[in-house]
Amino acid sequence: MHIIVIAIGTSGDVYPLLGLSRTLVGHGHKVSFCTSPAFAEEVERCGLRLIPAGSVEDYRAAVNDPEMWNPRRSMKTLWKAVAARIRPMYDLLYKEIDSDTVIAAHPWAFSARLLNEKYGVPLVTTQISPSTFFSARKPPVHKQFTVPSWLPYPARAALMWGFDRLVLDRICGPDINALRAELGLPPIKHIIGHWIHSPQGVVALFPEWFAPPQSDWPANVTLAGFPLYDGGAFREMDAELEDFLAAGRPPIVFTPGSTMVNGEAYFAAAAAALEKLNERGVFLAGPSTTMPTSMKNIMVRSYVPLSALLKRSRALVHHGGIGTCAQAFAAGLPQLVTPFAHDQFDNAARIKAVGCGLIATDYTDPAALFNDLKSLLEDSQLHDHCRIIQAGVLPPEAVCLKALKVIEAVARNRTAQPQHALSTESGLVDA
């Protein structure tokens, strides 16, 4: 079986699917990994064949666009970047598919869904975080639009329907339906709320205790758990950081992830809060980030595998990325979340709901950050919850095997799916 895994987004979206892909290869399947060539080195480390989508320059331009991280305008900015790559990726994947192909794709890989619909290519969509399940039973949390949970269900359902149809469809619909017309497919509605999920199978790469399934989720969802891949198997901590960790009490780790933020204000507040708390810290920041002048008992690194670092840390302050919070759960570590955009607000709410963290009041204010961290460190009940949750985090291999079973089942059922004639150059057989 040839499995094409498609990852769209930043490292938080790509790394979980790399972890899954390593398991797929380990069980004898041929795997091609389609993502931005910005991740080419990591894909190669995993022993995977890369199908490069776009360019490194495209990826960096999108990630470094301040509007991508502005909650008011992030959706339109994200869609502009994604829409420009749908047809090129469609054409790229068309050349790769044959009668033995099954696709496992991030739900924003719209080209995969189009190939599934046009030619019956078996597709499993891989849900990285729960926020894109448009549930009126448990509405996702967002900075700009969150349906209040106290409203009666019919009111919540109407609001979710309206947002999906009157806001998101107006953003995504023109581009998607123009391409569908080119491909001879009819126009569609409810693109983000419904259509992006494969009707053949959906794998949620998070556990049930983090996001309990809702009755209005897609009917064919399998919750697997966190894959927990972060490249730690291929990287070791440098000697200076090792000595730092061994020389004193466990540090508090700070990272804004791939999010473009005011790094100077973020880390200045962090340094001041650490000094007042008399705690040590590790800052994970890009090389261009301006650091505060006072850096007592603080180490700065551009990247350290969290799977190794968090086991030797006291707490984690982070942006709410799904991969980062998963590593904190696995380490049994309390989390202070500073959400900035996209799914980070929903993830933050779920971290708080399971009793493993708090949401920062103001990450740029040293006094507020000090108070939040003090509360986090002194909350013994929260620390107990972290240990309970840690015990419920499945090993990555078990998680990936759950996903593999879904992919294999969808591939076996390919003959039951409607097939359309494909030109002989692709190799797909006619139904």
pLDDT in tens, 175-203: 999 999 999 999 999 999 899 999 999 99
The pTM score is 0.88
What does residue 333 show for φ and ψ, rounded to 5 degrees?
Answer: -105, 135
Res 424: pLDDT: 35
Pairing between β-strand 30-35 and β-strand 2-6 as defined by DSSP bridges: parallel
Tokens of 399: 């998680």
Provide the 8-state DSSP code for 361: S
Axis-axis angle for helices 169-182, 110-119 (nearest 10): 40
Distance of CA 134 to the CA centre of its chain: 16
pLDDT at 195: 94
What are the counts of helices (DSSP H) followed by strands (DSSP E) for the chain?
16, 13
> What pLDDT is stored for residue 425 in this prediction?
38
Sign of CA dihedral 331, 309, 18, 214: positive
Q: Which residues pair with 203 in a beta bridge?
A: 126, 222
**Cβ pair 287, 352 in contact under 8 A:** no
Which pLDDT belongs to residue 103? 96
Beta bridge partners of 299: 282
The architecture (CATH level 2) of 236-391 comes to 3-Layer(aba) Sandwich (3.40)
Q: Where in the chain is the domain with CATH 3.40.50.2000?
A: 2-228+395-416, 236-391
Third-level CATH fold of 2-228+395-416: Rossmann fold (3.40.50)
What 3 state SS string does 332-345 have? CCCEEECCCCCCHH
Distance CA 83, CA 257 (A): 24
What does the pLDDT read at residue 179? 94
Of 316, 321, 312, 326, nearest to 395 by C-alpha is 326
- Give the H/E segment covering residue 126: strand 123-127
Q: Give the span between the Cα atoms of 378 and 340, in whole angstroms.
A: 25
Q: Which of 128, 137, 108 is nearest to 213 (CA)?
A: 137
- Determine the Cα–Cα distance for residues 357 and 361; give it in Å rounded to an integer: 13
Per-residue model confidence (pLDDT) at position 65? 67
Angle of helix 322-331 relative to helix 11-26, nearest 10 degrees, comes to 70
End-to-end CA distance of the chain: 19
Lookup: tokens for 9:
């987004």
Sorted by sequence, the CB contacts under 8 Å of residue 217 that are 6+ apart come out as 133, 135
Say which amino acid occupies 283: F
- Listed as ranges, residues in the chain with pLDDT below 50 are 416-431
Judged by DSSP in three states, 264 sits in helix
